[in-house]
Structure 1
């Protein structure tokens, strides 16, 4: 924690002072252009891999970058509420759903009940992705564990792109061409980011 405290001081004394006017303007409100839905994994830093500035991304992160199917809930539906707020209140123009390599949440889909003994809320959260495990097991029966890992991570992204369209007002905006939806796959070890091509149904490396 000592490094975090020192970092906060360095930010205020160096970065903030250098860009004081920029932050002063941000202090009056936000107008992000993109909703970035990513995994909570500590190695996935949206602003780092996109080189975005403060105020550009409205970020939602959870285990395995899951988009719950739309419903009006009496529970505390944090991810659903954040998506609603980004699209309907802030008026973002883009939604990026970003999965990544070596995802612990996707890997846990294949674990037995004993694994979840002390993390029941994680087990409950991942129930939303149960169909993804079935898809991978049925469609890729001969896959090695390494192949199964990246297949699961990519299938998961595609499924979450479908789930986001269960939000009626998002579906309306998307069909009207007022909202773009992207699926990204980030490879931690190489720094590569792949974008899902809906026509070819393949992930393609993002290049200049």
Structure 2
């Protein structure tokens, strides 16, 4: 895709689609945004939150990064982009739901099993992938057949979601809001190949079809 295609796309949006959202956007400008959902997804170009969930402007506050990872709470006064988004969504916007949405064929989870060497050009990626090491360790303990790479990758993707949900609980204000019933955390797994979503059932420690469970709020 060329930059000119994006320019043409914006022209098409303004001419054909903007009118559908114009009233909503004007209201959002006047009253400010009040999304009830923080969506934590992967930067993967094949993952399209607004498209796959049919949402409109103002519905979701979105955080996207490599692997939809959540760094543990760390008040060291350094630069923490992902944590800043979480902090803003929870403490300023007052979201009521946090969705950690992983996906199939995740490059980050696959990269956990690859060696990047000592290239200085990949130093930040290598450090960031540390957030997925626990998922890799659990996967290798759970799977006996180490030759089935695709099964290993798919399992790692799902276990990572659970691990990132656990990392959210290290944020004191999130833990407090959960105890007070002010916020809920959800783990979703999006299948790129067919568009379906599975949710994590904490009671049974398994992923189940989201569309068949209207109680997953």
Q: Is the TM value for this pair above 0.5?
A: yes
User: Distance in 1 between the 2:53 and 2:119 partners?
Assistant: 34
Partner of 1:3: 5
Corresponding residue for 1:113?
116
Equivalent residue, structure 2, for 1:98: 101
Q: How many residues align?
A: 208
CA contact (8 A) 2:38 2:89 kept: yes
* 1:63 correspondence with 2:72: no
- Structure 2 contact 101–189 (Cα < 8 Å) conserved: yes
Q: Quote the RMSD (CA, aligned, Å).
A: 1.5
Matched residue, 2:17: 15
In the alignment, structure 1 segments of 5+ residues that lack a partner are: none
- Measure, in 2, the Cα distance between the counterparts of 1:92 and 1:188: 26
Secondary structure of the structure 2 residue equivalent to 1:119: helix
2:151 maps to which of 135, 147, 153: 147
Shift of the alpha carbon at 1:13? 2.2
Structure 1 residue 117 displacement after superposition: 5.8
Match of 1:25 among 24, 27, 33: 27
**Counterpart in the other structure of 2:174:** 170
CA distance in 2, matches of 1:25, 1:113: 48
The alignment status of 1:198 with 2:215, answered yes or no, reads no
Equivalent-residue separation in structure 1 for 2:112 and 2:56 (angstroms): 34
- Say which SS state the counterpart of residue 203 (structure 1) adopts: strand
Name the SS for the 2:145 alignment partner: coil
Distance 1:182 1:19 in 2: 28
Ranges in structure 2 where 5+ consecutive residues have no aligned partner: 213-217
Measure the CA separation in 1 of the matches of 2:73 and 2:21.
39
Q: Deviations along 1:169-194, whole A, 9 cap, x unmatched?
A: 10111122111110000000011100
Query: Given the two structures, how large is their TM-score scaled by the length of structure 1?
Result: 0.95
Q: 1:124 aligns with which of 124, 127, 152?
A: 127
Is 1:184 matched up with 2:191?
A: no
8 Å CA contact 1:35, 1:96 repeated in 2: yes
Shift of 1:82: 0.3
- Secondary structure of residue in 1 paired with 2:117: helix
In 2 relative to 1, CA 19–61 (structure 1 residues): closer, same or farther, beyond 3 Å? closer
Change (3 A) 1:119 1:76: same
- TM-score after normalising by structure 2: 0.91
Rounded Cα–Cα distance in structure 2 between residues aligned with 1:172 and 1:42: 34
SS of the residue 2:200 aligns to: strand
Task: Please identify, of 17-26 and 92-101, the stretch whose mean Cα deviation from structure 2 is larger.
Answer: 17-26
Query: 1:115 Cα deviation (Å)?
Result: 8.2
